[in-house]
Amino acid sequence: MNKADIGLIGLAVMGENLVMNMESKGFTVAVYNRTVDKVDKFIEGRAKGKNIIGAHSLEELIANLKSPRKVMLMVKAGKPVDDFIEKLLPLLDKGDIIIDGGNSHYPDTQRRTEYVESKGLLYIGAGVSGGEEGALKGPSIMPGGSKEAWPPVKPILQGIAAKVDGHPCCDWVGEGGAGHYVKMTHNGIEYGDMQLIAESYILMRDMLKLSNDEMSKIFAEWNKGKLDSYLIEITADILSYKDEENKYAIDYIMDTAGQKGTGKWTAMDALEEGVPLTLIAEAVFARCLSSDKEQRRHAEELLGKNSPKAPEDKEQFVKDIENALYAAKVISYAQGYVLLRSAAKTYGWNLNFGGIALMWRGGCIIRSAFLGKIHEAFTENPDLENLLFAPYFANAMKEAVPSLRRICSYAMQEGVAIPSMASALCYWDGIKTFSSGANMIQAQRDYFGAHTYERTDRPKGEFFHTNWTGEGGDTQSGVYNA
Ligand code: 2AM
C-alpha cells in the first residue's frame, strides 16, 4: 500500500470515526493506539478492505507517512497529549506537523505550539465538535496553531468537515491556542443554548401544564422558524420519545445536570478578560444548583414550594416563550463574540468572526440557521463591536424583547427560576443605559478606601478624592498602593 496522507493516534470512537471519515474522502490513513490490540481489532473489523494502515509502534506509524508528515492525536486531553508529543518529537523531521484534535484547554495548546515550534516542527490544536456522529459524517473543525502548518493540512481537515451550502465548516482560526479557544467558547455557548431550552421547557411544563407531546409539537414548529437548530430539533424528539414500557423517557430522567468543565472554563475566562458573559455563567451555575437534588428537596420542604399559576392567554404565552428564547439567544451569542474579541486582543489573534460563525453553522452541536445571520452581520462589518449593534439583530431584538420582558416578569412573579433568560434581560437593559448606578460604587470606594473617581464635568483621566467624613484626610489610595 502507498504511504499514508495522515497518521492518527487514539482509536476510541471519535478517533475511529475520524479515520473512517478521512478514508471515505479518499485519504489513506495510518493508525496507532496505546493499547495495540485495538489497532488489530480495528484493521480486521471496520477498517477491513479500506485504505487504512495499522501500525504496532510509533516508529512504524511514522515510517508509513508521506512528507511532510502529519500526525493527529485523538487521545484523552491532558498528560497523554504531552507524553505523545515527547515520544513523537525524536521521530519527526523539520516541517512535520503534530495535530491535537482532542478537547485540550487552550493555554495547553498555546504552550505546546511554542514548544513544538521551538523544536523546528509545526503544531495544530484543532477543536472538533459534533460528537461521534459528526466525527464520522462531518464535524465542525476549528484549527489554530502554527500558521505554516495550515496549507498542507487544509485539504484533509476541510475535506472531512461538515459542509453547508458547499462551504466547509472548517477554516484557519488563528495562531497558538486560538482554535481551542474558539472551541471552548462554542461549548460555553452550547451550555447557554441548552439552559435556555430547559427554561422554555420548564415554563411550558410547570406554568402551562402542557403534555410532552404538546411540547414536542411546539419545539418541532419552532424548528421551522428563526430558532431552526439542531438542539431545538433533538428537544422535539426527546419530548416525544417513549421507552419499551410506553413511558416518556424525559419524565424519569433525573434533573441533575452533569458537566465536563468547558462551560466553566469559558465563564472563568470571561471573568479573567472582564467580559460580562452573564448568560453562559448563569447556565453553568444552573447546572451546579441542579446537581444537588437532596439540597433542593430540603429547601423545598423547609422554605416552601412555589405553585405557579398559568397565564390567561396560553397561546400568546407560548409565542412569548419562543421570542424570549430567541432574544436571549441573541444576547448569549453577542456576549460570546465580545469574549472572542477580547481574547483576540489579549493574545494577538486575528480572528475572523464571520468565518467562525460559518464553522459553527454545520457539524457541531450549536449548528443553526441563526449562525448564517451572524456570518452576514460580520461580513457587513468585520469590526462589529457587539452583535446587538448589527442592523438585523437590532431590529430583531426590538420585536423580541417585549416578549422576553413579559416572560421574565411573569416567571419572577410566579416563582419559576429562569436564570439565563433573566440575565439576558438585565444585560440588554444594562448595556442600553448610558447613565448607570456605578457612580454610587465609585463614591463608596472613594469613601471607605480613597480609591478616587473621575467626574462627569471634568476630562477623563483626571482623578479626584473627597474627604467624605472630614477625618479621612486627603491621601488617595494610589499613593500608598504604589
Ligand atoms: P487506550 O485505548 O490505550 O486506552 C481515548 O481514551 C484515547 O486516549 C484512547 O485511544 C486511549 O488509549 C488514549 N489514552 C488515554 N489515556 C492515555 C494515556 N495515558 N496514554 C496514552 N494514551 C491514552
Please report, rounded to a whole number, the percentage of residues in the chain having pLDDT higher than 90: 97
pLDDT of residue 478: 62
Atom of ligand 1 nearest to the CA of 11: 10
Residue 87 Cβ < 6 Å to ligand 1: no
Contact status, residue 150 vs residue 143, Cβ threshold 8 Å = yes
Q: Is the dihedral of CA 421, 288, 335, 125 positive or negative?
A: negative
pLDDT 10s digits, 159-198: 999 999 999 999 999 999 999 999 999 999 999 999 999 9
Average pLDDT, the chain: 96
Which amino acid residue places its CA nearest to atom 8 of ligand 1?
75
Contact status, residue 13 vs residue 7, Cβ threshold 8 Å = no
Phi-psi region of 96 (alpha: psi -120 to 50; beta: other; left: phi over 0): beta
Pocket test for ligand 1, best of 34, 38, 72, 103 (most atoms within 8 A of CB): 34
- Predicted confidence band of residue 476 (pLDDT cuts 50, 70, 90): confident
Residue 481 Cβ < 6 Å to ligand 1: no
Contact status, residue 199 vs residue 420, Cβ threshold 8 Å = yes
Q: How far is the CA of 41 from the centre of ligand 1 (A)?
A: 16
In one-letter notation, the amino acid at residue 283 is A
Q: How far is the CA of 149 from the centre of ligand 1 (A)?
A: 25
Residue 37 Cβ < 6 Å to ligand 1: no
Question: For residue 450, what is the DSSP state?
Answer: -
Q: Quick check: pTM over 0.85?
A: yes
In one-letter notation, the amino acid at residue 162 is A
Q: How far is the CA of 323 from the centre of ligand 1 (A)?
A: 45
pLDDT 10s digits, 378-424: 999 999 999 999 999 999 999 999 999 999 999 999 999 999 999 99
Q: How far is the CA of 73 from the centre of ligand 1 (A)?
A: 10
**Strand blocks (E) in 333-409:** none
Asked if residue 475 has pLDDT above 80, the reply is no
- Predicted confidence band of residue 471 (pLDDT cuts 50, 70, 90): confident
User: Dihedral (C-alpha) 296, 270, 421, 334: value to the nearest 10 degrees?
Assistant: -160
Query: How does DSSP assign 161-219, residue by residue?
Result: S-EETTEESB---EETTHHHHHHHHHHHHHHHHHHHHHHHHHIIIIIS---HHHHHHHH
Could you give the residue numbers annotated as active site? 183, 190
pLDDT 10s digits, 102-158: 999 999 999 999 999 999 999 999 999 999 999 999 999 999 999 999 999 999 999
Asked if residue 479 has pLDDT above 90, the reply is no
- Predicted confidence band of residue 481 (pLDDT cuts 50, 70, 90): very low
3-state secondary structure of 61: helix
pLDDT of residue 461: 97
The H or E element containing residue 443 is helix 438-449
3-state secondary structure of 10: coil
Separation between Cα atoms, residue 411 and residue 423, nearest integer Å: 13
3-state secondary structure of 145: strand
pLDDT of residue 366: 96
Asked if residue 474 has pLDDT above 80, the reply is no
> Cell numbers at residue 179, please?
482554535
Pocket test for ligand 1, best of 76, 84, 128 (most atoms within 8 A of CB): 76
In the block, cell 463574540 appears at: 337
